[in-house]
C-alpha cells in the first residue's frame, strides 16, 4: 500500500520557503510524491497560511507560482464546517493543529508529517518528522 502522508503547514513552509536546515528532507518527500511513490495531502488552510507568510519575504507572484507547482503533487483536504466543529470540540490544545489533524483523518492519511510532533499528542495515526519518515522509507 502506498503511504498517504498529511503534511503539516510547517513542512510545506520548509519546502516552499527553502528554510534551512529543514528544506532537504521536505524536498525529498516532495520528490517521492512527484514520482508517485507516496501520496501527499495538505489542508486548504495550508495554502492561505503559506501564501501569507511567504509573501512577506518573496514576490507574491513567485509565491503563487510555488503554490501552483506544489498543488500538482499534492491533494487538498477541504476545511469544512464539520471539521471546524470537531476541532472546536477536540482535546487538542491548539485549534489550528486540530484542524490539520482532522483534515488528515478525513482524507484517510496514514501518517502525519510535522516538525512539531508534541502538538499532535491526541493523534490516532503515527506522527513523524520528515527525517523520521525518510529513515523508515530507507528500510522499506
Domain extent, residue 106, equals 4-135
The SS3 call for residue 129 is coil
**How many domains is the chain built from?**
1
Task: Please report the pLDDT score of residue 79 as a whole number.
Answer: 95
The SS3 call for residue 59 is coil
Task: Please report the pLDDT score of residue 85 as a whole number.
Answer: 97
Task: Please report the pLDDT score of residue 140 as a whole number.
Answer: 66
CA dihedral 66, 70, 72, 74 (to 10 degrees): -160
In a domain, 9, yes or no: yes
In a domain, 41, yes or no: yes
CA distance 136 to 52: 33
> In this structure, how many other beta carbons lie within 10 angstroms of the beta carbon of residue 18?
14
In a domain, 140, yes or no: no
In order along its 140 residues, the chain shows pLDDT tens digits of 899 999 999 999 999 999 999 999 999 999 999 999 999 999 999 999 999 999 999 999 999 999 999 999 999 999 999 999 999 999 999 999 999 999 999 999 999 999 999 999 989 999 999 999 999 887 76
Residue 30 is part of a domain; what is its CATH number?
Answer: 3.40.50.1010
In a domain, 28, yes or no: yes
Give the predicted TM-score (pTM) of the model: 0.95
In a domain, 110, yes or no: yes
Amino acid at each position: 500500500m502506498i503511504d498517504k502522508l498529511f503534511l503539516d503547514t510547517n513542512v510545506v513552509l520548509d519546502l516552499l520557503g527553502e528554510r534551512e536546515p529543514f528544506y532537504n528532507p521536505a524536498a525529498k518527500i516532495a520528490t517521492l510524491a512527484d514520482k508517485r511513490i507516496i501520496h501527499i495531502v495538505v489542508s486548504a488552510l495550508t495554502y492561505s497560511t503559506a501564501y501569507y507568510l511567504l509573501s512577506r519575504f518573496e514576490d507574491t507572484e513567485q509565491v503563487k507560482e510555488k503554490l501552483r507547482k506544489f498543488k500538482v503533487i499534492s491533494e487538498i483536504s477541504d476545511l469544512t464546517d464539520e471539521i471546524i466543529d470537531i476541532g472546536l470540540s477536540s482535546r487538542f490544545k491548539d485549534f489550528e493543529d486540530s484542524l490539520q489533524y482532522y483534515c488528515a483523518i478525513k482524507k484517510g492519511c496514514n501518517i502525519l508529517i510535522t516538525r512539531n510532533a508534541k502538538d499532535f499528542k491526541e493523534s490516532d495515526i503515527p506522527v513523524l518528522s520528515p527525517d523520521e519518515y525518510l529513515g523508515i522509507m530507507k528500510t522499506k
